[in-house]
Chains A and B, each alone.
Chain A
Amino acid sequence: MSLTVLTYLVVGATFALYIGIAIATRASSTRDFYVADGGVHPIANGMATAADWMSAASFISMAGLIALSYNGYGGSVFLMGWTGGYVLLALLIAPYLRKYGKFTVPDFIGERYYSDTARVVAVICLILCSVTYVIGQMKGVGVAFSRFLETDYETGLGIGMFIVFFYAVLGGMKGITYTQIAQYVVLITAYTIPAIFISLQLTGNPLPQLGLGSTLAGTDMYLLDKLDLILLDLGFQEYTTTLRGSTLNMLAFTASLMIGTAGLPHVIIRFFTVPSVAAARRSAGWALVFIAILYTTAPAIAAMARLNIVNTMQASDGQALLIEDKPAWFENWEQTGLLKVEDLNGDGRIEYTADPATNELTKLDNDILVLANPEIAQLPNWVIALVAAGGLAAALSTAAGLLLAISSAISHDLLKSTYMPTISERSELRASRIAMAVAVLGAGYLGLNPPGFAAGTVALAFGLAASSLFPALLMGIFARRVSREGAVAGMLAGISVTLLYVFQHKGIMFIPGTSFLGDMSPNWFFGIEPNAFGVVGAAVNFTVAFIVSRVTAPPPREVQELLDFLHEPGNAE
C-alpha cells in the first residue's frame, strides 16, 4: 500500500474516532460546556491536560530545536521550563482555583480584585495570549496536512477547522476532554515508536531515556561522547555543554517558560473539571507523568537524530557525502524546502560544517528532525503515517483547549459576568457555542492569513501569560494586601513591558524594520533574549502591584473571607 493511502487511512481513522467521541459526549448545560460537570477522573484529566498542553511545537519542533538551533545542552531550557511549571501549578495555583470552584480564570480575578475592570483586563490578557498561541496550531494543522496528505495548505486547514468545530462546539469542555484523551494516546504512540526503534538501532537499548546514556551498539564509545567529538570535528560546539547565550539568559528563559506554563488559562481551566481539590493536586502529577513520557524522549530523539544526520553526511571513506549517494529521504525533504543543498565548491560532495562560508547543507529545518525521523531510521510506512496522525492530534488538541478558553472568556466573563448578568443558562450555553464558532472561524482566518508575528507566536504567548496572568493569580491567592488598583496596574505594566521588549527586538507586530529605538545591540537587557523576557515582565508586574497596593485602600472584608475560604483545610474525598 502506498504511503499516501496508508496515511489517509490512519488519519481518517483517528478523525472518525474524535467525531464519534464528540457525538457521545454532547454538552447539555453550561457546567458541562465549561468544566465537563466537574466529573473527570484525575488520571483522565491528567491525560487530557497533557494533550491540551503539548502542542504542535512540542510534538514537531521541540526535538529539532534542541538538537539544531540550541545545540543540545542549550535546549534544556525547554525541557525544564515546560515541565517545571507544573510544580508551580500543582503547589500554588491549581488547588486554590479548583477550591474557588467557578468556571474561568477571569472569574477568579474579577471576584478576588472586586472589580469588573480587573476582570476585563484579565479577559484581554487571556485573549491576547490564547489567540497568538492558536494561530501557531492552525498553521501546524495546515502544514501537516499539506506535507503528509499532499493537499494544499488551505484544504488541510479547512478539514482541521471542521473537525475542531464539530467536537468543540457540540461538546464544549466535555467533548474536548474525551477527544483529548484519545488524542494523547495517538500522539504519544506516534512519538515513542520511532524513538524506540532508533534507540534500538543505535545503542541496542529499547528505552530512549537509557539509550541516550548508553554506548553505541558494538563499541564501548558512549553515544553522547561520540556526538561531542564528531561535532567538534566539524567545527560545531560541544553538544553536551554549550550554553544558550549566557547562564543568566538560560535562567531567565527557563523561569519564563515555567511561570508562563503556570499562568496559561487553557491549562488552568483543565483543573476545574476534576471532582475535588485533592484530585486537582493529583491530577497535576498525572499530567506531568504523561507529559514527561514525551519530554524525556525528546532529548534522546534530538541527540540520536543529530548523530544519524552527521553520520549520513560522512561517507564511509571519511569524506563528505557524494551528491549522487544521497539517501531517498534526503530528496523527499528537499522537495518540501525544509532541506537544501548547494554544492558551493563544485566537488560533487556535500560538506556539512559549522562555517557558513563552506557549509553546503544550506538549510536544515528544525522540524525535519521529528518528521523525517522514521525515514532516516528506515522504518516502515505505517510508522510515517502514524507520525502524521500524531502531529495532527497534538495541534488539534491544543487548538481546541485554547478555543474553549477564549469562548468561555467571552460568553461567561464578558456577557454573563460583566455586561448581561440577567442572561439565562440556555442563552448563555447558546452564546458560548456561538463564541466558540466565531473563535474557530477567527483562528482559521488567522491561519490562512497569518499576520507578520506568526513566527514568534508560541514564545510570545508564554511571555504574555508569565507577565500578566501568573502574577495576578499568585498575588490573588497569597497576598492579602494587594488591591484592585494594584492588580490592574501590575497586569498592564507587566504585559506592556514584555510587549515593548519583544517588539523592540522583532519589530512592532513582528514587522521587520519597525523597531522604534533604532538598532540597539540585540538582547541588551543583561543579555536576555526576547523569548526569555517574561520573567522580567512578571517582576515588573509584582513590583508595580505591591507599590500601588501600598498607597490604595486595602481589599474589602468579602475578599478577606474569600481568601480564608481558599486556604481553609479542604475536605478529602
Chain B
Amino acid sequence: MAETNNKNARKAQFLAQVRGLMLKLLIIWFVVSFGFGILLVEPLNEIRLGGYKLGFWFAQQGSIFIFIALIFYFAAAMSRLEREYRQYSEGSE
C-alpha cells in the first residue's frame, strides 16, 4: 500500500516537473517573440547589435535562434526526467 502511494507520488512529481519545464520554456518563448520582438521593440531598438537595432534583431533573427534552443533543451530535459523516473521505478520493483 505504502509502495503504491510512493509510486503515485513519484508519478505526480514527474508530471509536475514536466508542467514546470513547459511553463518555463513557454514564458521564454513568449518573452523573446511577443515581448522583445513586438511589445518592447521600441526601447530595445535604442540598443545596437552591430548594424542591427536590437528589437528588430529579435523580431527577424534572434527569436528564431532561441526557439531552436528551446526545443532542443526541452528534448534533452524530458529525456533526463524520463530516465530519472525509470531508474526510480526499476529500483523500487
Write the residues of chain A forming the contact surface with B, with a CB cutoff of 8 angstroms: 73, 75-76, 79-80, 83-84, 86-87, 90-92, 95, 209, 212-215, 222-225, 240-241, 247, 250-251, 254-255, 278, 281-282, 284-285, 288-289, 292, 295-296, 299, 567-572
Contacts and interface: CB of A to CB of B under 8 A. Distances in A.
Contacts of B83: 572
Contacts of B6: none
A80 B56 CA distance: 12
A284 B25 CA distance: 15
A288 B29 CA distance: 14
A80 B33 contact: yes
A568 B75 CA distance: 16
Contacts of A212: 51-52, 61
B68 A292 contact: yes
7 contacts: A76-B37, A91-B25, A212-B52, A241-B56, A284-B71, A285-B71, A285-B75
Interface residues of B, number: 43
A288 B51 contact: no
Contacts of A571: 82, 86
A238 to B, nearest CB: 10
B72 A282 contact: yes
B67 A87 contact: yes
A292 B64 contact: yes
Given A79-B64, A224-B52, A296-B60, 5 more contacts: A91-B25, A241-B45, A278-B79, A281-B75, A296-B64
Contacts of A87: 25-26, 29, 67, 70-71
A289 B51 contact: no
Contacts of B79: 278, 572
Contacts of B74: 90-91, 281
Contacts of B15: 567
Given A213-B49, A213-B52, A299 B82 contact: no
A92 B71 CA distance: 11
Contacts of A215: 51
B14 to A, nearest CB: 5
Nearest to B60: A299
Nearest to B21: A91
B84 to A, nearest CB: 9
A281 B67 contact: no
B51 A84 contact: no
A423 to B, nearest CB: 37
B33 A254 contact: yes
Nearest to B72: A285
Contacts of B39: 247, 251
Contact of A84 (B29, B52, B72, B82): B29
Interface in B38-92: 38-39, 41-42, 45, 49-53, 56-57, 59-61, 63-65, 67-68, 70-72, 74-75, 78-79, 81-83, 85-86
10 tightest A-B contacts by CB?
Answer: A222-B51, A76-B59, A285-B71, A281-B75, A213-B50, A299-B60, A213-B51, A213-B52, A90-B71, A569-B85
Nearest to A248: B38
A571 B89 CA distance: 12
A569 B56 CA distance: 40
A213 B57 contact: yes
A561 to B, nearest CB: 14
A296 B62 CA distance: 9
Nearest to B84: A569
Contact of B63 (A80, A225, A240, A569): A80
Contacts of A240: 45, 53, 56
A292 B38 contact: no
A224 B64 contact: no
A146 to B, nearest CB: 32
A212 B57 CA distance: 10
Contacts of A214: 50-51
Contacts of B9: none
A92 B59 contact: no
Interface string B9-36: 0010011001000100110010001100
Given A83-B67, A282-B72, A209 B61 contact: yes
A254 B22 contact: no
B91 to A, nearest CB: 14
B78 A285 contact: no
Nearest to A79: B60
Contact of B34 (A75, A254, A289, A296): A254
A73 B59 contact: yes
Contacts of A92: 22
Contacts of B25: 87, 91
A247 B15 CA distance: 36
Contacts of A73: 41, 56, 59-60
Nearest to A303: B60
Given A87-B29, A87-B67, A569-B86, A225 B51 contact: yes
A281 B71 contact: yes
Nearest to A241: B45
A390 B7 CA distance: 54
A569 B10 CA distance: 11
Nearest to B39: A247
Contacts of B49: 213
A268 to B, nearest CB: 15
A299 B61 contact: yes
A251 B40 CA distance: 12
Contacts of B50: 213-214, 222
